[in-house]
Amino acid sequence: MSNPFDLSGKVALITGAAQGIGAAIAIKMAEAGAEIVVADFGAMVPETIAGLEAAGAKYHYIQGNLTEAGAPQRTIDAAVAAAGKLDILANVAGAIRRAPFVEHTEADFDLVMNINLRAPVFLSQAFIKHVLGRKAPGKIINICSMLSYQGGILVPGYTASKHGLAGITKLIANELASKGINCNGIAPGYIATANTAPIRADEARNKAILERIPTGRWGQPEDLGGTAVFLASAASDYLNGTIINVDGGWQAR
């Protein structure tokens, strides 16, 4: 019986994969057999390189700034040039700026929206054109958020971008499922990354968060890897326009 989670022969482009959540997803997909293209503004950290090499994966690195004009198409073109094709796109790169709503600047709002929403939209557009041109199926995985459902506090741009990304995930599924495109999202709960360091450092807020999570701990980037492999694989071929919460039970409370 074949393994429906096997990614052998597939090529996955993961943005924001130099470290953190993106790196954990890249490594887990590599372990499942995929060839990996890492796209990030910063260089891969040694732990990411070690994880990919331990998986025995063929991998490539593309440096770029997704906020620049034309960057999404250039990124897809560079990935195809490096690996020959793409089968999977994981839009992981993200940014957050914390400030009260009345103090949130236009510059911060634009930066967050450009990275968290605009870049995934146009990366997905270019990716879809590529796979349809090959007459091949394609898998898109968008990293949404608990703030795709909730308002949150002190993160106006982030909340707006993640609500928007959830909507685009569903729209792509509506328009392109019949053409062999699967577009789904992962909504991480509270994951221990650089972006959440200020919250974890706030003793009162950290305590309140942990008290609400049934699992009783912050998530680790590696906790998202298995769900990403599922969404990238044949095991999820009839799943479309869905956002999966990987949150230790946060939403259940």
Which CATH number covers residue 138?
Answer: 3.40.50.720
Active site residue 158: yes
Give the per-residue pLDDT at 1. Answer: 54
The catalytically annotated residue of 149, 158, 190, 238 is 158
Query: What is the pLDDT, as a whole number, of residue 196?
Result: 87
Q: What is the mean pLDDT of the chain?
A: 97
User: Could you tell me what percent of the chain has a pLDDT over 90?
Assistant: 96
**159 occurs within a structural domain:** yes
Number of domains in the chain: 1
Q: Is the pLDDT of residue 160 over 90?
A: yes
> Structural domain of residue 237, as residue ranges?
11-190+227-247
User: Is 214 contained in some domain?
Assistant: no
**Structural domain contains residue 207:** no
CA gap 236, 191 in Å, rounded: 24
Taking residues 146-150, what's their average pLDDT? 96
Determine the pLDDT at residue 27. Answer: 98
The answer to whether residue 4 is domain-embedded is: no
**Could you read off the pLDDT of 182-233 as tens digits, one per residue?**
999 999 999 998 888 888 999 999 999 999 999 999 999 999 999 999 999 9
Residue 140 lies in a domain: yes
**What are 3-59's pLDDT values in tens digits?**
999 999 999 999 999 999 999 999 999 999 999 999 999 999 999 999 999 999 999
Confidence (pTM)? 0.96
